C-alpha cells in the first residue's frame, strides 16, 4: 500500500491516522457489553440492576464504555433528542454537586451550570426523563471517594442511590480499585451496605498475562493491522511487548503510535524501531532496561522484579 507523504513534517501519515481511529474489541469487552445490555433492559422497572467496572488505569474500561456509547448513539425522535446512553467523567476530588453538574452538562452540552445542588439535581432528573436515557455511566467514580473522609463516600453513595430510585435508571460506576467504598461502604458505615443490593455485579478488569491466549490474540490483531516486521506473536516478542506496556491497552496504542511516526513513509516497524519508540513513549524509563534491546535473561529478571513488586503492593 502506498503511503501518502504528509504536507508538513508535523502532519500525521494517513496510516497513522487510520491506526489511531482503530478500536480493538476483545472477548472480555463483548461479555461486558452483554452485561451492560442486561442492566439497561431493567431501566424504568421496579428492579433496576446496576454494575461496576473496576481495574487499573489503561486496562480498557473507558474504551469499553465509549464503544458501548458508540453502539447506541443519540438520535432525534419527534423533534426531541434522545440520549439512550449517558457518560460523565469526573475530575479529582469531585463532590456530589460536581457529579450532578457533569451529568447535566453531558446531557445538555451546556458548560456553565449554576445553582444549588438540589436545583441542579431537579433539572437533571427532568432532562434524564425528557432525553429517555436508559443507562448512565460515571467514569472515574473513585474521585467521589476521599481517603480521609468516610462521610464523603457515604454522601456520594446516598446521592447515587437516591438518583437511581428517582429516575429508575442503572448507574454504572467505572474506575480504579478505590471506588469500592462507594459500594461497600467505609469502616464507619460498613453495616449499612446501602449500595450492595443495587451493585451485585462488580467486574474487575485486569491486564492479560503475557503467556495468555488473549494477549496473543491482541498482538495478532496488531500484527495484522500494522506493517510490523518484528513477529509480535513469537514468545520472545510477546514478553517484550508485555514488559513494555504492562499489558495495558492505554500503553499499547501510544507505543505503536511512536513506532509508526518513527517508521515514516517506509511504514516498516522493526524491533529497532520499537526500541526507539519505547524511549520516546517512556522518556523517564521506569525499568532498568529497554525491553526491545534487553537480553532474554535481563527480560526475565525484570519480569521477576515486577511480579515481586506487585505481590508487595497486594500485601500492603
Residue 156 shares a structural domain with residue 282:
no
Are residues 183 and 270 located together in one domain of the fold? no
| Of 106, 174, 171, nearest in space to 143 by CA | 174
Q: Are 36 and 167 found together in one domain?
A: yes
pLDDT tens, position by position, 218-260: 999 888 888 788 899 999 999 999 999 999 988 998 999 999 8
Residue 199 within any structural domain of the chain? yes
Identify whether residues 48 and 176 lie together within a single domain.
yes
What is the β-pairing status of strands 80-82 and 201-204?
unpaired
Domain boundary among 173, 204, 235: 204
Identify the bridge partners of residue 136 per DSSP, sorted by sequence position. Answer: 86, 171
Position 4 in a domain = no
Q: Could you tell me if residue 140 is left (phi over 0), alpha (psi between -120 and 50 degrees) or otherwise beta? A: left
| 17 is a domain residue | no
- Are 198 and 66 part of one and the same domain? yes
- 204 or 10, higher pLDDT: 204
**What's 143's domain CATH number?**
3.40.50.300
Please state, in angstroms and as integers, the Cα–Cα distance from residue 265 to each residue in 15, 20, 66, 278, following that order.
9, 16, 31, 19
Domain tally, the chain = 2
Same domain, 294 and 187: no
Judgement on whether residues 72 and 105 belong to the same structural domain of the protein: yes
Confidence of residue 316 (pLDDT cuts 50, 70, 90): very low
Asked, for residue 310, whether it belongs to a domain, the answer is: yes
Per-residue model confidence (pLDDT) at position 111: 84
Q: Please choose, from the candidates 284, 281, 283, the residue with its C-alpha nearest in 3D space to the C-alpha of residue 241.
A: 281
Q: What is the pLDDT of residues 88-127, one digit of tens each?
A: 999 988 999 999 999 999 999 988 899 999 999 999 999 9
| pLDDT at position 6 over 50 | no
- CA within 13 Å, CB half, 158: 10
Same domain assignment for residues 230 and 120: no
Max mean pLDDT range (71-75, 111-115, 205-209): 71-75
Q: Which of 204, 223, 249 is the last residue of a domain?
A: 204
Please tell me the distance from the alpha carbon of residue 289 to that of residue 307, in angstroms, as a whole number. 16
Are 53 and 177 in contact by the 8 Å Cβ rule? The answer is no
pTM: 0.85
Last residue of a domain, one of 204, 239, 269: 204
47-71 pLDDT, tens digit per residue, is 899 999 999 999 999 989 999 999 9
Do 126 and 144 sit in the same domain of this protein?
yes
72: closest CA among 134, 164, 30?
A: 134
- φ and ψ of 285, to 5 deg: -55, 115
User: To the nearest whole number, what is the mean pLDDT of the chain?
Assistant: 86
The residue segments making up the domain with residue 55 are: 27-204
pLDDT of residue 309: 59
Q: Is residue 139 part of a domain?
A: yes
Query: Which range is most confident: 140-149, 215-224, 261-270, 295-304?
Result: 215-224
Q: Residue 112: inside a domain, yes or no?
A: yes
Is residue 100 in a domain?
Answer: yes
Amino acid at each position: 500500500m502506498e503511503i501518502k507523504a504528509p504536507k508538513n513534517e508535523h502532519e500525521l501519515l494517513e496510516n497513522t491516522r487510520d491506526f489511531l481511529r482503530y478500536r480493538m474489541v476483545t472477548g472480555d469487552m463483548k461479555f461486558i457489553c452483554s452485561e451492560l445490555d442486561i442492566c439497561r433492559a431493567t431501566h424504568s422497572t421496579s428492579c433496576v440492576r446496576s454494575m461496576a467496572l473496576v481495574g487499573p488505569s489503561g486496562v480498557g474500561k473507558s474504551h469499553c464504555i465509549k464503544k458501548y456509547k458508540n453502539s447506541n448513539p443519540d438520535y432525534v425522535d419527534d423533534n426531541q433528542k434522545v440520549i439512550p446512553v449517558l457518560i460523565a467523567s469526573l475530575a479529582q476530588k469531585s463532590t456530589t454537586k460536581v457529579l450532578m453538574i457533569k451529568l447535566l452538562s453531558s446531557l445538555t452540552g451546556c458548560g456553565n451550570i449554576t445553582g444549588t445542588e438540589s436545583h441542579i439535581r431537579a433539572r437533571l432528573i427532568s432532562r434524564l426523563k425528557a432525553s429517555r436515557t436508559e443507562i448512565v455511566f460515571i467514569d472515574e467514580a473513585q474521585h467521589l471517594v476521599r481517603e480521609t473522609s468516610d462521610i464523603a463516600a457515604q454522601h456520594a453513595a446516598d446521592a447515587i442511590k437516591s438518583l437511581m430510585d428517582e429516575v429508575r435508571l442503572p448507574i454504572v460506576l467505572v474506575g480504579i480499585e478505590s471506588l469500592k467504598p462507594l459500594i461497600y461502604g467505609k469502616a464507619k458505615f460498613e453495616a449499612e451496605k446501602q449500595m450492595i443490593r443495587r451493585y451485585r455485579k462488580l467486574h474487575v478488569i485486569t491486564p492479560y498475562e503475557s503467556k495468555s491466549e488473549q494477549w496473543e490474540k491482541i498482538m495478532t490483531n496488531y500484527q495484522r493491522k500494522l506493517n510490523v516486521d518484528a513477529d509480535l506473536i513469537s514468545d520472545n516478542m510477546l514478553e517484550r511487548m508485555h514488559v513494555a506496556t504492562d499489558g495495558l491497552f492505554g500503553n499499547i496504542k501510544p507505543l505503536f503510535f511512536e513506532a509508526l511516526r518513527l517508521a515514516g513513509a517506509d511504514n516498516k516497524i522493526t524491533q529497532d524501531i520499537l526500541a526507539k519508540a519505547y524511549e520516546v513513549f517512556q522518556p523517564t524509563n521506569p525499568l532498568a532496561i529497554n525491553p526491545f534491546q534487553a537480553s532474554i535473561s535481563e527480560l526475565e529478571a525484570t519480569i521477576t522484579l515486577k511480579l515481586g513488586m506487585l505481590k508487595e503492593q497486594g500485601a500492603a
